[in-house]
A and B are shown apart, each in its own frame.
Chain A
Amino acid sequence: MSIARVIRLINQMQADGVVERYAIGGAVGATFYLEPVATLDVDIFVAFRQQPGEIITSPSPIFDYLTARGGIIEGEYIVIAGWPVQFLPPTSPLVEEALAKAVTVEVEGTPAQVFTAEHLAAIALQTGRAKDHARLLQFIEAAVLDTRRFQALLQRHGLVERWQAFERKFLQGES
């Protein structure tokens, strides 16, 4: 069982042209910046190569590619190297931007594309579940966010009010 193997296979899939671009998000993405966060799956955001005239993009080429290489489909997941992996299309302008601006981080010689810390934090704010708030607090406590970039993101994606509410609720009295 190894996330490193998952990353190598996704890189190969990208090199073979199945997806145009990918980026790791979720708890695994956050682990690039924070302490490891226990999770049971891997979230990979993907941009598909859209065929002319195609309206709905299908994840079938991804599943076909990976099952031919040992992946096992389990519901919405495909299990690779022991990890259930979920492929997700960008569902908001914020996630689209996160995918476009993902950074490459070397993991023992293997490039891995991952959302920036600021995008992960903004997505957590936008998603807004309890676990997302906990994630956002981790980012703040770890002081890994570039404040200027994060604030610009909040402005661009209409998240300023939500951020102010978050500050009032969770950060009041913090130094």
Chain B
Amino acid sequence: MTFDLQRIIESKRAWRRALAQRPVSEKLAMLDALRDRTRAIRAAASRLNVSSPARPEDGIKR
């Protein structure tokens, strides 16, 4: 393992490409799981009375 930033960025790109090439049904199932997780994090954040994490719809959506 190294802290070669260029390699880290390239590795992230490769991972995203690999995800993009998964079957659509698998990717839609991932969306289901992502949404569950986001809701759980928000609920936990509100219980802790901390500011809510960035909303996905404020990031990359629609």
Assess the A28–B16 pair: CB atoms within 8 A. no
Asked if A34 is an interface residue, CB under 8 A from chain B, the answer is yes
Closest to A6 in B: B28
Residues of B within 8 A of A1 (CB): 32, 35-36
Total count of chain B residues near the partner, CB < 8 A: 26
Asked if B10 is an interface residue, CB under 8 A from chain A, the answer is no
Assess the A142–B28 pair: CB atoms within 8 A. no
Assess the A26–B62 pair: CB atoms within 8 A. yes
Assess the A35–B61 pair: CB atoms within 8 A. no
Having A27-B62, A33-B20, A131-B58, one finds 10 other A-B pairs with CB under 8 Å, namely A2-B32, A3-B31, A35-B27, A37-B61, A38-B56, A40-B35, A40-B38, A40-B55, A131-B61, A138-B60
Residues of A within 8 A of B (CB): 1-4, 25-28, 31-41, 43, 83, 105, 107-108, 112, 127, 131-132, 134-135, 138, 141-142, 144
